[in-house]
């Protein structure tokens, strides 16, 4: 019984110290053609819910602490027929 109480006490101590896994992630903008969100901007993890992007807009983010990347894109506008060689990324 003493061992069980000791384990429970250690568990409560870890919870009180905040040594649990992080509850949310943070996103860092690493590339963007949206003026409101330049590279270096920090976004909260719920940005996907409220982020609205216009046509040809994109934001590439680094998701911390996992270091995964993700791209948020607005709707695509009609591309010209034929080649697109030499065309730069459209500004938003």
**Span 53-76, pLDDT tens digits:** 998 899 999 999 899 999 999 987
Percent of the chain with pLDDT over 90: 40
pLDDT at 90 over 80: no
81 vs 56: CA distance, rounded Å = 17
Choose between 48 and 61: higher pLDDT. Answer: 61
- The residue extents of the domains of the chain are 23-77
pLDDT for 35 equals 93
pLDDT for 70 equals 94
Distance of CA 92 to the CA centre of its chain: 20
Place of tokens 């709707």: 75
Decide if 43 contacts 27 (C-beta within 8 A): yes
pLDDT at 13 over 80: no
Q: How confident is the model over 17-36, as a mean pLDDT?
A: 75
């Amino acid at each position: 019984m003493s061992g069980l109480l000791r384990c429970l006490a250690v568990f409560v101590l870890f919870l009180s110290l905040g040594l649990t896994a992080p509850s949310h992630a943070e996103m860092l903008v690493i590339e963007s053609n949206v003026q409101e969100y330049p590279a270096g901007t920090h976004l909260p993890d719920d940005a996907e819910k409220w982020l609205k992007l216009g046509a040809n807009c994109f934001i590439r983010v680094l998701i911390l602490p996992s270091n995964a990347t993700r791209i948020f894109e607005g709707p695509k506008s009609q591309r010209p027929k034929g080649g697109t060689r030499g065309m730069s990324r459209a500004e938003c």
